[in-house]
A and B are shown apart, each in its own frame.
Chain A
Amino acid sequence: MPKEMASFTVNGKPYELIIEPQMTLLDVLRNQLGLMGTKYACGTGDCGACTVLVAEKPVLSCLTLAATVKGEEILTIEGLADGNNLHPIQQAFVDAGAVQCGFCTPGMILTTKALLDENPDPTPEDVQAGLGGNLCRCTGYVKIVDAVLAAAETLRRR
């Protein structure tokens, strides 16, 4: 099938990649850019573990054809920290005990970033509404809500 050269900006860096139509953004990120932080967990759009931000909006990379996001600004989990300095959202997740097995965590954190960018002072109900597309099997979500609220406060104070 026809290959094409496509430009992407991922975590602020420009890339020229050879892609084919059937490649998902998830597989391009993992297989071609070696960015393994974005996870495959269901492939049906139900769990949110593959979430990345495209033009600052959380989308499911497992259901996004890479060819349809050519030229877009993409943020993966690897683009959030400043070197080894955790982003306040990442730090809040660590401090609140909101990370157990960690498999849902990258998607959960990126969706949180988008939520807080849009609504810097969410209520617990806002947090639940904002993360309704992200499944976690380990934590029971309680400490995830705590972490998001704590992160919101930290970011507001910055």
Chain B
Amino acid sequence: MYRVLRPFELFEPATVGEATQILFARGAGAKVLAGGVDLVMKMRTRKIEPGYVVSLKKIPQLNGITGDGDSGLRIGALATLRSIELSAAAQNYPVLCQGINSISSIQVKNMGTAVGNLCVATPATDVAPPLFVLGAKLKIAGVDGEKLIPIEDFYAGVNKTVLASHEIVTEIILPGVCAGTGMAFLKIGKTGATIAKVNAAVLLVLADGKCTEARIALGAVAPAVIRAAEAETVLKGEKVDDGLIEKAAATATGEASPITDFRSTAEYRRVMIKALVKDALHKAVAEAGA
């Protein structure tokens, strides 16, 4: 039970290249700092004790939210949750704004970054499920160059990403939003200011009354965020009515593996998956039709 952090060495590189070089040199003993909400907290409580911290805050190329609903959105690694939520560009992606909005602390949103939230890799993240259904790709930079991966390939288990110790995510890239799209994010927790027991994000594209695209992402009910692929198959190509939504929601429930912990029970989480997916799909249909 510690009140203060253990001393460490702080690096403040000016470029991505410098940052990855330092990370490569220090290996697992180095951690990346962006907003610091998670890192500083874990260092203070001694859950992790890195000897080196590499701050990205002085790398200008990591700032910025650019684009729009047509050409797509690029969110830099240093873009704070609050700035994304308030940006004109992100308003074209309501499901992302809803996910961020469900984080009740303004302070956390002023400090924390979307990329940082993804990298913490908590299964209950409110940022990842929206990005899953939006078809996000993550640009990753390491000492051996850059690569682009779909967000579905980013997670490797509980609190684990596929990042090597020298790699950082520099950008989130979202495609444009096509006509006929509806999306929604819902979350359930103990209070209005809390970590999710279950959350769900959905995105539907409707054309001529039929569903041409369906994406459902669930959080807090598996080692990492998952896409409910079978439930999506139920919807794709069909006319989305109440009965189909009910079926899709029930299918999604079977695809998750919720646990019982001090927050909730597996049985309850299963019930809530169905309820949230159902509600979210109704909302998405209404928005797509509008």
B104 interfacial contact with A, CB 8 Å = yes
Task: Please tell me which stretch of A19-27, A75-83, A87-95, A142-150 contacts chain B, meaning at least 4 of its Cβ atoms lie within 8 angstroms of it.
Answer: A19-27
- Residues on B with C-beta less than 8 A from A51 are 107
Residue from the set A24, A68, A130 with the largest chain B CB neighbour count within 10 Å: A68
Contact A65 B7 (CB under 8 A): no
Partner of B33, one of A59, A62, A68: A68
Q: B107 touching A111 by the CB < 8 A rule?
A: yes
Chain A window 53-82, contacts with chain B (Cβ cutoff 8 Å), 1 for yes, 0 for no: 000011110111101100000000000000
The listed residue (B7, B33, B57, B105) touching A22 by CB distance below 8 A is: B7
State whether the Cβ of B120 lies closer than 8 Å to any Cβ in chain A. no
A117 to B216, alpha carbons, bound, how many Å? 38
CB of A57, distance to nearest CB on chain B (Å): 5
CB contact between A44 and one of B41, B107, B110, B111 (< 8 Å): that residue: B41
* Inter-subunit contact A64/B36 (CB<8 Å): yes
B10's nearest neighbour on chain A, judged by CB, is: A21
Q: Which residues of B contact A45 (CB under 8 A)?
A: 37, 41, 105, 107-108
Known: A43-B3, A60-B111, A132-B192. Is A65-B106 also a contact (CB below 8 A)?
A: no
A130/B106 in contact, CB under 8 A: yes
Partner of A68, one of B44, B57, B82, B192: B57
Shortest Cβ gap from B34 to chain A (Å): 10
Question: Which of B10, B107, B193 has most chain A Cβ within 10 Å?
Answer: B107
The minimal Cβ–Cβ distance linking B44 to chain A, given in whole angstroms, is 6
Contact partner, B104, options A27, A60, A63, A132, Cβ 8 Å: A132
Cα separation A1 to B192 with both chains bound (whole Å):
41
Residues of B within 8 Å of A59, CB to CB, are 107, 110-111
B1 to chain A, nearest CB (A): 10
Q: Is B91 an interface residue (CB 8 A)?
A: no
Interface size class of B (residues with CB under 8 A): 20 to 34
Chain A positions within 8 Å of B36 at CB level:
63-65, 68
Tell me how far the C-beta of B130 lies from the nearest C-beta in chain A, rounded to whole angstroms: 19
Which chain A positions have C-beta within 8 A of B12?
67
A-side interface size class: 20 to 34
Residues of A within 8 A of B82 (CB): 57
Bound-state Cα–Cα, A52 to B107, Å? 9
Q: How far is the CA of A43 from the CA of B285 in the complex (A)?
A: 42
Q: Which chain B residues lie closer than 8 Å to A111 at the CB level?
A: 106-107
Q: Which of B4, B10, B105, B110 has the largest number of chain A CB atoms within 10 A?
A: B105
CB of B8 within 8 Å of the partner chain: yes
The residues of B that contact A24 with a CB separation of less than 8 Å are 4-5, 40, 44
Residues of B within 8 A of A65 (CB): 10, 33, 36, 40, 53, 55
Given contacts A44-B41, A44-B45, A57-B110, 17 further A-B contacts (CB under 8 A): A2-B9, A22-B7, A24-B4, A24-B44, A43-B44, A45-B37, A59-B107, A60-B107, A63-B36, A63-B41, A63-B111, A64-B111, A67-B10, A68-B36, A111-B106, A129-B104, A130-B106
Can you list 21 residue pairs at the A/B interface with Cβ under 8 Å? A1-B7, A21-B7, A21-B8, A22-B4, A22-B7, A24-B5, A24-B44, A43-B41, A45-B105, A45-B107, A48-B107, A51-B107, A58-B110, A60-B107, A60-B111, A63-B36, A65-B55, A67-B55, A133-B104, A133-B107, A133-B108
Task: Point out residues on B near A: beta carbons under 8 Å.
Answer: 3-10, 12, 33, 36-37, 40-41, 43-45, 53, 55, 57, 82, 104-108, 110-111, 192-193
